[in-house]
Amino acid sequence: MKENSRYVAVREVFQQFVRIFGQLQRGGAQDCGISVIQSHILYELGKRPNISLNDLAALLHTDTSSLSRQVQQLVEYGQVNRLPDPKDRRYVVLSLTAEGEQKQQYIAEFMETFLSEVFSKIPEDQHEQVFQTLEVMKTALNSTSSPCRKEPPSS
């Protein structure tokens, strides 16, 4: 296990990723007057509209009861639509309103601005390698972590 010591460094880097990114998300969310979890909801709904609450909870690794209340707030704020699914009325169908879309866009730009600054610190000729490596890690992570449920009943 000569590589094992390297995992210590890898963990350290990941820990920093998490901390810095968490900090960023907090900033972006606060600018929009919402919580971090709510910004994740907007993000996920932007990517996968018309998802159910249950599937969203699985994606975000959170409890349905907490999520239900967070969504409730976003509905009250006018940022999320929540309608019963006509095909199976136990489900709800969640989507972004125009305003929700706007906030989601704002946060996305916020994050991407930060990332562009990060990459400006990396020599241009290494960018491609970084992108590739991140993709490699993404697929490796996905095949290691517990899988999320997909295929929502509607849509």
Q: Applying CB under 7 A, does 24 fall inside the site for DNA?
A: no
What does 82 bind: DNA, a copy of itself, none (CB cut-off 5 to 8 Å by kind)? DNA
User: How many whole angstroms separate alpha carbon 16 and alpha carbon 25?
Assistant: 14
Looking at the Cβ atoms of 6 and 87, the one nearer to a copy of itself is 6
Strand partners, 93: 83
Q: How far is the CB of 22 from DNA (least distance, A)?
A: 11
Q: Is 61 in a helix, a strand, or coil?
A: coil
Q: What whole-number distance in Å separates Cα of residue 54 and Cα of residue 154?
A: 12
**How is 6-60 classified by DSSP, letter by letter?**
HHHHHHHHHHHHHHHHHHHHHHHHHHTTS-HHHHHHHHHHHHS-SB-HHHHHHHH
Tell me which H or E stretch contains 71: helix 64-76
66 contacts: CB under 8 Å, gap ≥ 6:
37
Give me the least distance between CB of 39 and DNA, in Å please. Answer: 11
Q: What does 115 bind: DNA, a copy of itself, none (CB cut-off 5 to 8 Å by kind)?
A: a copy of itself
Q: Which of 55/110 has CB closer to DNA?
A: 55
- What character string, x for contact with DNA (CB under 7 A) and - otherwise, covers 80-119? --x-----xxxxx---------------------------
User: Per CB under 8 A, which region of 49-57, 66-74, 81-89, 135-143 contacts a copy of itself?
Assistant: 135-143
Q: Does 14 bind a copy of itself (CB under 8 A)?
A: yes
x/- binding map, residues 51-80, to DNA, per CB under 7 A? -xxxx-x----xxxxx-xxxxx--------
Q: Are 150 and 56 in contact (CB under 8 A)?
A: no
Q: Which of 13, 63, 69, 83 binds a copy of itself (CB under 8 A)?
A: 13
